[in-house]
Amino acid sequence: MGIIGKIVNYFIEDEVRQIVSELYQNYTRVSTLVCPPGLDSAPCNEDQAVGIYLDKSRKTFTVGILPPSEANPGEAIIYGRTEEGEVNSTIYLKNDGAVEITSDTEGKASYLKLNADGSIETYSGNGASTEKTVLGETLKAILEAILDAIVAMTVTTGVGPSGPPINAATFTAIKGQLTTILSAGVKNN
């Protein structure tokens, strides 16, 4: 037999989350929260809990929460919420293979989208404008070629070709620093 109740509180007893649900006015019941493996999720007050009785002892287990209906068939959404129940982050697994990760705290929304076509989009909520990213090793190679050309540069003068620039060592030193622009932790194609 199943029951549905409004969550009014929860507490942890023996490292297990216990849910207090109001089944009808002034009648509450304590149940043990059951989560899928690898997921630790605390419900918010006012959530609608779905509970079941498993044995004759009438011990109740909360097996789920009635979520908002935003996912389409074949999709899944994981919500992060404030204690008041306001959604402030999501992981959205879309039915076309795309994944969207969003965070919206204090009006500063950020997202990472892994699109179904293989492209990746990011947006930082710090107010900075978005631009296309560069391929770091390609940029490094282009900058090295430019610096090599500057160091080898000669110009025609009234008395013949000039020698290399007198500050060629500065350009060579800059070239040596180009590896520092490459990120060790983030790679893209």
Task: Please indicate, yes or no, if residue 128 is contained in any of the structural domains.
Answer: no
Residues 57, 6 within the same domain = yes
C-beta of residue 51 within 8 angstroms of C-beta of residue 5: yes
Residues 101, 55 within the same domain = no
pLDDT attached to residue 96? 94
pTM of the model: 0.60
DSSP string, 20-49: EEEEETTEEEEEEE---TT---PPPTT-EE
Return the minimum-mean-pLDDT range out of 3-7, 152-156, 164-168, 175-179.
Answer: 3-7
Number of domains, the chain: 3
Range of the domain at 171: 136-181
DSSP single-letter state for residue 83 = T
Q: Is 90 exceeded by the pLDDT of residue 143?
A: yes
**pLDDT tens-digit series, residues 5-34:** 888 888 888 888 888 888 877 888 888 888
